[in-house]
Amino acid sequence: MSEATGEIIETPTGELPYKAVIKVDEKIVGEQFFDSRVRAEIFIVETLKGLEDVARKEGRLREFAASSNGDRWYLGRNDDTMHAYVVHKANLPSGGATTHIEIGAFLNRGPIAPEHQALLQLIGTLVDGNAKAPRAARQSG
């Protein structure tokens, strides 16, 4: 399970002297400046609570790509239906929205981007040629 943390860094210059930093597994996923320490603390508490809520709702997620601007992509699975999907979590400065995308729709969007390649590489690891891996039963049709 990922660990999300927040910290406040005092910046001695500028109108906004408090920087709230959110990290997931020690990687900075967002930061924002505030005019008071209390506002920065509230931001951290609310953001961490939101991340916990998302993690509970998402169930099983595996990160497969992260962009330099803080966007993250995850491969998810619905435990009830066993269907896989992509979750895109936008960076905090752009709103931090979470979007669920069907895998086919994700791979068919626009030109091939690094996150598409990363998903294909992850899928490729599932078929590594292990001869002892169980094979799916043939379906008659």
Confidence of residue 59 (pLDDT cuts 50, 70, 90): low
Quick check: 37 pLDDT over 60?
yes
Distance CA 29, CA 24 (A): 7
Structural domains in the chain plus CATH codes: 1-58 (3.30.160), 59-126 (no CATH)
The predicted pLDDT at position 58 comes to 58
- CA dist 97 and 139 (Å) reads 40
What phi and psi values does residue 61 have, to the nearest 5 degrees? -135, 145
Q: What is the strand order of the sheet 4-10 is part of?
A: 4-10, 18-24, 27-34
Q: What pLDDT, on a 0 to 100 scale, did the predictor assign at position 114?
A: 93
- Residue 73: the pLDDT is 92
CB 66, CB 73: distance < 8 Å? yes
pLDDT digits (tens, 9 = 90+) for 60-108: 778 899 999 889 999 988 767 778 889 898 887 787 788 889 999 999 9
Enumerate the H helices of 28-79 as residue ranges. Answer: 37-58
pTM over 0.85: no
pLDDT category of residue 137 using cuts at 50, 70 and 90:
very low
Contacts of 34 (CB under 8 A, 6+ apart): 16, 18, 19, 20, 40, 43
